[in-house]
Amino acid sequence: MLTQEKVLEILNPIQDPFLHRTLEETGGVEEVKIKEEKNHVSVKILIGKTNTAEQMELQQTIVNALKSGGAATVGLRFDQLSDDVVQKFQPAQESEDASLLSGNTKTKFISIASGKGGVGKSTVTVNLAVALTRLGKKVGIIDADIYGFSVPDMMGVEERPVVRGEKIIPVERFGVKVVSMGFFVEDNSPIIWRGPMLGKMLTSFFKEVEWGDLDYLLLDLPPGTGDVALDVHSMLPSSKEIIVTTPHPTAAFVAARAGQMAIKTEHEILGVVENMAYFESKETGNKEFIFGRGGGVKLADTLQTAVLGHVPLQQPYEEEEVFAPSVYQADHPIGVIYRNMAAKVIDKY
Ligand SMILES: Nc1ncnc2c1ncn2[C@@H]1O[C@H](COP(=O)(O)OP(=O)(O)O)[C@@H](O)[C@H]1O
Ligand SMILES: [Mg+2]
């Protein structure tokens, strides 16, 4: 037989689906009545928002919990918490998220750009994000390379984001929150974007995603200096940029255009990452500059900035338990290089 206390014990830890607080914290259990002869429990629950899919789910949770606790039948009514209480517990993100694009957020945007594809822009984005997280920062990634999205695959993300209320909850991997176009595409099929849709999609990545309070939000930009890249650049009010290049002088020349575009849209350049800088033989320790040499420094000079790091060619260690094809481990030589880069970024921004 359930007692009043036992019922409270069962209900109190359950979360209000909108306020993300326990019913105990919100004072959501308004009434508990027990009809002993029939072993019937009826409760009245106050929540942040009524008549929603979440309420249905909560209803199931509560009924099941009370029945497993010993109730034969359960009566359940919902009502809305008073506005005061809702205000008090309303997740602060609401207003914060809306202002992610307005410029008064404390989240710092870092856009990762390149002159062309295939130079490691996404690899740099992912590993810099993970390295910043390892240094204790709260980090998110928007995979804004809307045609060439690859971040989920690189990080080995298999789940899809869930939608709660009107918000998309980003997927978390290695402590980094990720949102990608790839999450919203079936079977890797190609997408055709028309101008206004693209803007809407990107805006919703900022506004409709529950990012929580982030220190850094990294954007994997589309490569090159085309319309899409330009749109993304202009949409962000205050982003700093990292330009990725290979060491080949021609690559650096092309990357300089991406840098110029950043400057035109008033985005300060944080630095240059020279990726695929060299190959180091495990046997001899000899460095071979397979893709040429000097591109990173040349680009940094052109853009009057610094080289944040030279990343050699090497794969992450293979691990059986953790699948993340492009994430370098903290103790991997390249993991260490990313750690140093992350420290420089924190220092500068
Ligand atoms: N330092 C590196 N060593 C070895 N492979 C790398 C390195 N950087 C990138 N790659 C690989 O090169 C390919 C292109 O990198 P990617 O990050 O997808 O480039 P982008 O985003 O610029 O198109 C990927 O297959 C990636 O795994
Ligand atoms: Mg990419």
What pTM value is reported for the model?
0.73
Q: Map tokens 């429990």 to a residue.
A: 41
The CATH number given to whatever domain includes residue 54 is: 3.30.300.130
d(CA 89, CA 48): 9
Ligand 1 is surrounded, with C-beta below 6 A, by: 114, 117-123, 150, 223, 275-276, 311, 313-315, 326
∠ CA 9-66-31, rounded to 5°: 65
DSSP annotation of 48 reads: S
Quick check: is 172 in a domain? yes
The answer to whether residues 70 and 40 belong to one domain is yes
Token pair for 299: 């680009």
For ligand 1, atom 1, which residue shows the shortest CA distance? 313
Token pair for 231: 């749109």
- Mutating to test ligand 1, I would choose from 121, 122, 123, 274 the residue with most ligand atoms within 8 A of its C-beta, which is 123
Q: How far, in Å, is the centroid of ligand 1 from the Cα of 119?
A: 6
d(CA 335, CA 93): 32
DSSP annotation of 275 reads: E
Quick check: is 100 in a domain? no
- Residue of 215, 229, 141 lying closest to 181 (CA atoms): 141
Domain boundary among 89, 118, 146: 89
Write the pLDDT tens digit of every residue in 270-312: 999 999 999 999 899 999 999 999 999 999 999 999 999 999 9
Atom of ligand 1 nearest to the CA of 312: 1
The answer to whether residues 159 and 233 belong to one domain is yes
Q: Which residues make Cβ contacts (< 8 Å) with residue 60, sequence separation at least 6? A: none
Give the residue, 238 or 27, on which the prediction is more confident.
27
Token pair for 164: 């709660």
Write the pLDDT tens digit of every residue in 303-336: 999 999 999 999 999 988 888 999 999 999 999 9
DSSP annotation of 117 reads: T
The answer to whether residues 158 and 298 belong to one domain is yes
CA distances from 63 to 14, 17, 150, 182, 265 (A): 12, 16, 42, 37, 55
The CATH number given to whatever domain includes residue 337 is: 3.40.50.300
Q: How confident is the model at residue 95 (pLDDT cuts 50, 70, 90)?
A: very low
Quick check: is 99 in a domain? no
Q: How confident is the model at residue 167 (pLDDT cuts 50, 70, 90)?
A: confident
The answer to whether residues 213 and 248 belong to one domain is yes
Total of domains in the chain: 2
The answer to whether residues 121 and 44 belong to one domain is no
Quick check: is 50 in a domain? yes
Q: Which residues make Cβ contacts (< 8 Å) with residue 149, sequence separation at least 6? A: 143, 180, 181, 182, 185, 220
The answer to whether residues 306 and 166 belong to one domain is yes
Share of the chain above pLDDT 90, in %: 65
Write the pLDDT tens digit of every residue in 225-249: 777 677 777 777 688 999 999 999 9
Q: Which domain holds residue 253?
A: 108-348
